[in-house]
Amino acid sequence: TSILLSTAGHAPKSLLVTSSLPSEGKTTTATNTAISLAQTGAKVLIIDADMRRPRLHQVFGIGNGEGLSTLLSSELHESDIDSAVKQDPGTKLYLMTSGPIPPNPAELIGSQQMNRLLAMLGDRFTHIVIDSPPIASFTDGVLIASMVDGVILVVHAGKSSRQVVRKSRQLLNDIGAKVFGVVLNNVNLRASDNAYYYQSYYHRDNYHAGDQE
């Protein structure tokens, strides 16, 4: 409900769900958000734009032979989109997986082809929910944030430091992204104090294909 009421005059068409660091729950949050929107009767597409560690195909048990990376590296015909978009029969949610992992994810994401694809998909779907890599580690999510109506930032309580979250917010503010809000994930409501955060530093080396999101 908060997302649907977050923009004046109309509900947001496109939404990025991202996090500062790996394994904060952004893919689960993106999937649940998309399913919730689909349950309103809207035609909803979720895109796995994490072409570094894709997971959407695993969540829904579908193939990943074609998807976002194949569309962004082609001439982008309507028939190509038809082939890349699948529908989950249980949730009625439309899915676009990452496709094969490319050598240059940020270059593909930041291309005019990505803007063109989102415009074409916007004519087909009521809402588009996008999952991206963590923005404190890679530029992909920041690039997408400049193309969508708004951003949801997922923060893992007890893991993400305030410093890292502030950095992520500043990155989004610098490119003029509209941050709809923050999802504080995995909060221990029984904790006797407010020590949810501690200083921790994460490096690109920690972001591997086998890690859990």
Burial 22-51 (b: 16+ CB within 10 A, else e): bbbbbbbbbbebbbbbbeeeeebbbbbbbb
Cα 177 to chain centroid, rounded? 14
Per-residue pLDDT in tens (0 to 9) along the chain, 213 residues: 777 766 666 678 999 999 988 888 899 999 999 999 999 899 999 999 999 999 999 999 999 999 999 999 998 899 999 999 999 999 999 999 999 999 999 999 999 999 999 999 999 999 999 999 999 888 999 999 999 999 999 998 877 788 888 899 899 999 988 988 888 887 777 754 444 444 433 344 455 555 545
Region label for 78, one of left (φ > 0), alpha (ψ between -120 and 50) or beta (otherwise): alpha
Element (DSSP H or E) covering residue 58: helix 56-60
Burial class (CB in 10 A: 0-12, 13-18, 19+), 106: middle
Stated pTM of the model = 0.84
Report the C-alpha gap between 69 and 108 in whole angstroms.
7
Angle at 59 between CA 88 and CA 118, to 5 degrees: 65
Report the C-alpha gap between 125 and 47 in whole angstroms.
12
* Closest alpha carbon to 154 in 169, 175, 144: 169
Report the C-alpha gap between 163 and 141 in whole angstroms.
18
* Closest alpha carbon to 105 in 31, 159, 53, 145: 53
